[in-house]
Amino acid sequence: MTRNCNFQCSYCYFPHTNGKITDPVSTDTLLDFLNNKNARWLVGMTGGEPFIYPDFVSLCEQVTQNHYIGVDTNLSLSTQIADFAKRISPSRVNDIYASLHIEEREKRNAVPQFIENYHTLADAGFTIKVNYVLHPLMEDRYAADVEFFKKNGVPITPRPFKGIYNSLKYPQNYSANIKSIFASHPGAGTKMVFNFRGVDCKSGHSFIRMEPDGTILRCPGDRTVLGNIHNDVSLNAGATPCAVDRCPCQGINYVDLNPAEGWFIEGMRSFLTGSEKKRR
């Protein structure tokens, strides 16, 4: 939705600024696009920080009339979160992924606020997953943080830091201690990247990526432009061959594999990440 964010985490993947969002996509334009396909979409609201998007809760309210949403948030904007909890039906929200970013939050004396916002949403019936980016600097305090948040009713899942720290690349150079933390959260530390080049895939048809300016891309891995919701979007008529070597997204849910290939991939995923996923 935006690259802007009210936090400034040192390890953020994206260049972020805390400026105002001046050119939001209008809700009507977005709804026209979503509703025109006679389909129900699951719309992943992410950023940056989606709760800083102008009228974000109203946007969610209108999208969830016919569709479903998921939200990635730093859970810091209490007023908007309380409003979201009141106005949005949990039955229309797939998951809320809340990132803890403990150092940023401590700088702002906002740890109690995070706990409160978590419970506001959990008490309203939303499913929230709290992620803790395990930057190497967090190694010594991680166990105490997990304990503290557990006592406050907030379960934490570690997430790998991906980037360079002290000239070393992570997560490859994690200490044995951090590796052992991920060993007890097998699904959290490993993300599968596939190579499905040449395999028929329904992305561009039933799975797409929208950029903040309304540009529609086939998927996060294949950035072929299919149009812009302000003008015209031409979605693929069905599955077409994947044209890239790295599928960093949810491609496994959209590629056409025969049953044997599907079970083989599923077995590998289960072995490497400990997680199972239903293919759509």
Q: How far is the CB of 254 from ligand SF4 (least distance, A)?
A: 5
In DSSP terms, which residues pair with 247 in a beta bridge?
194
| 52 vs 178, beta carbon nearer ligand SF4 | 52
Q: Pick the piece of the chain touching ligand SF4 (CB under 6 A) from 55-63, 137-145, 185-193, 195-203.
A: 195-203
Residue with tokens 């499905």: 196
Q: Pick the piece of the chain touching ligand SF4 (CB under 6 A) from 2-10, 27-35, 36-44, 262-270.
A: 2-10
| 49 vs 188, beta carbon nearer ligand SF4 | 49
Q: Which of 12, 192, 226, 272 binds ligand SF4 (CB under 6 A)?
A: 12
Token pair listed for 223: 């950035």
| 101 vs 269, beta carbon nearer ligand SF4 | 101
How long is the chain? Answer: 280
Q: How far is the CB of 38 from ligand SF4 (least distance, A)?
A: 22
User: Is residue 49 part of the contact set for ligand SF4 (CB under 6 A)?
Assistant: yes
Orientation of helix 78-87 relative to helix 56-66, angle to 10°: 20
| 80 vs 99, beta carbon nearer ligand SF4 | 99
Q: How distant, in Å, are the alpha carbons of 73, 94, 197, 226 from that of 65?
A: 21, 14, 36, 26
| 12 vs 31, beta carbon nearer ligand SF4 | 12
Q: How far is the CB of 249 from ligand SF4 (least distance, A)?
A: 5
Residues in 88-107 that interact with ligand SF4 by CB under 6 A: 99, 101
**Residue 101 burial class via C-beta count within 10 angstroms: exposed 0-12, middle 13-18, buried 19 and up:** buried
Token pair listed for 183: 């060993």
Q: Cis peptide leading into 155, omega within 30 of 0?
A: no
Orientation of helix 27-36 relative to helix 56-66, angle to 10°: 20
Q: How far is the CB of 109 from ligand SF4 (least distance, A)?
A: 17
Q: What is the rounded CA–CA span in Å between residue 142 and residue 148? A: 10
Q: How distant, in Å, are the alpha carbons of 111, 230, 256 from that of 31?
A: 36, 11, 29
Q: Which of 249, 257, 265, 272 binds ligand SF4 (CB under 6 A)?
A: 249
Nearest residue to the partner ligand SF4, using Cβ? 251
Applying CB under 6 A, the residues found at the interface with ligand SF4 are 5, 7-9, 12, 16, 47-49, 74, 99, 101, 196, 201, 203, 218-219, 221-222, 242, 244, 247, 249, 251, 254-255
